[in-house]
Amino acid sequence: MAPVRSLAVVGTGLIGASVGLAARRAGVEHVSGWDPDETHLATAAERGAVAPVSDLETALAGAELALVAVPVAALPAQVRAVLDASAASCTVTDVGSTKGAVVAAAAGESRFIGGHPICGSEARGPQRATGELFDSATWFLTPIAATEPERYKLLHGFVSALGAIPVAVDPEAHDRLVAVTSHLPHALANILLNQAGASRIDGHEPLAAAGGSLRDMTRVAGANPRIWVDIFLENRVALGDALGEHRRRIEQLEAALTASDAGFLARWIGEASGNRRRLLETAYDDAGALQRLRVHVLDRPGVIAGIAQALGAERINIADFDLQHLSSDRGGTVTILVAGEQEAARAADILEAQGYGVVVAPVLEES
């Protein structure tokens, strides 16, 4: 049961509406919602995420916790407005992906604690909202010296009740952290795709010849510019620093290639292998046991469901699943992660018996 009885959600897009749905699932008795976008508000209300109200003051009336879920550029002003319009008993938080400007706008208010759920959805709008969006997601909280312990305890408990994992971090450290883990990857995905899309090599179109590597590395390229322009500019200092460090590492690689330095390249790849293992270990209980099955499939209805049903019927757990579509004629490749060599071999036998071509390999190669 959530420690909050009355919640006000200010901004009812995907995140705000998802918070409302998750809060209701957690047992919050009253979830009011307000949004200057009447279409968003109406959709969130239809989904059962919030009880809609016509103005900010009404939304905040009696709220123990107010959560601001508006675009990054609008966050500082909206948080300030919520602090000014809410009662002294109301704790205020936000879900923005940068913290510097909004913490500054709160001006040391003990009632405000910044927040940022890392929930990784590319969907948009309240129609895509789900109460399960935050399950097992890291949710950064950015208390400051002035933060009242009881308010932090309330927010920490609320976030936990939504299914997320609250993690305290300094606001400035938060912005440097997400610059490396989120904003830099988005910037590099755009760079890679624009580089490939702007060139021809001896008459060949790179995008037409692209394999899985480019698709995997550019999944987030071209994300909603109305959101990402603001994020890049709000976190421009930390992102600029991350790009500078990236440039230094690119120059190291260039120097190694110029010098034909095989030793550097081997150490460099080995370091990346170790870091990838550490990354996967945050997502899987036994990353070292993961086996990758690549299955060629034709482009026809029911193929994916058939594979999942066939493995499920034999009680083989799919740890992860991905589809790379090549074309209507060529079909695509389904990548399935299974824990353990024996389970992977069983899965391969089942799928091969159904006529699929399967290639099995460990996710983490031994160095």
Give pLDDT, residue 199: 87
Give pLDDT, residue 326: 72
Q: Per-residue confidence at 123, pLDDT binned at 50, 70, 90? A: low
Give pLDDT, residue 99: 96
Q: Write out the CATH class of domain 174-260.
A: mainly alpha
Give pLDDT, residue 366: 61
Q: Per-residue confidence at 210, pLDDT binned at 50, 70, 90? A: confident
125: left (phi over 0), alpha (psi -120 to 50) or beta: left
- Read off the pLDDT of residues 92-105 as tens digits, 9 standing for 90 and up: 999 999 999 999 99
Give pLDDT, residue 122: 61
Calculate what percentage of the chain has a pLDDT beyond 90. Answer: 73
With 0-12 / 13-18 / 19 or more C-beta atoms within 10 angstroms meaning exposed / middle / buried, residue 163 is middle
Give pLDDT, residue 121: 62
**Residue ranges of domains in the chain:** 6-169, 174-260, 287-362
From 1.10.3720.10, 3.20.20.140, 3.30.70.260, 3.30.420.40, which CATH number describes the 287-362 domain?
Answer: 3.30.70.260
The answer on pLDDT for 348 being more than 60 is: yes
Distances (CA, A) of 151 to 105, 111, 158, 163, 356: 19, 7, 11, 19, 56
Higher pLDDT, 283 or 15: 15
Which of 64, 92, 89 shows the shortest CA–CA distance to 80?
Answer: 92
Gap between the Cα atoms of 227 and 77, Å rounded = 17
Domain 6-169, second-level architecture: 3-Layer(aba) Sandwich (3.40)
Q: Are 53 and 32 in contact (CB under 8 A)?
A: yes
Look-up of token digits 């923005």:
96
Mean pLDDT to the nearest integer, 195-216:
86
Gap between the Cα atoms of 303 and 311, Å rounded = 13
Gap between the Cα atoms of 93 and 212, Å rounded = 40
Q: Are 13 and 38 in contact (CB under 8 A)?
A: no
HSE, CB side, 13 Å, CA atoms: give it for residue 63.
29
Give pLDDT, residue 162: 97
Mean pLDDT to the nearest integer, 199-204:
88
At 247, list the tokens.
């440039």
| DSSP code for 182 | I
Write down the pTM of the prediction: 0.85
- Read off the pLDDT of residues 153-197 as tens digits, 9 standing for 90 and up: 999 999 999 999 999 999 999 999 999 999 999 999 999 999 999
Helix/strand/coil for 116: strand
The answer on pLDDT for 323 being more than 90 is: no
7: enclosing H helix or E strand: strand 6-10
The answer on pLDDT for 81 being more than 80 is: yes
Helical segments of 130-235, H only: 149-161, 171-178, 184-197, 212-217, 225-234
Helices (H) and strands (E) counted in the chain, each on its own, are: 14, 12
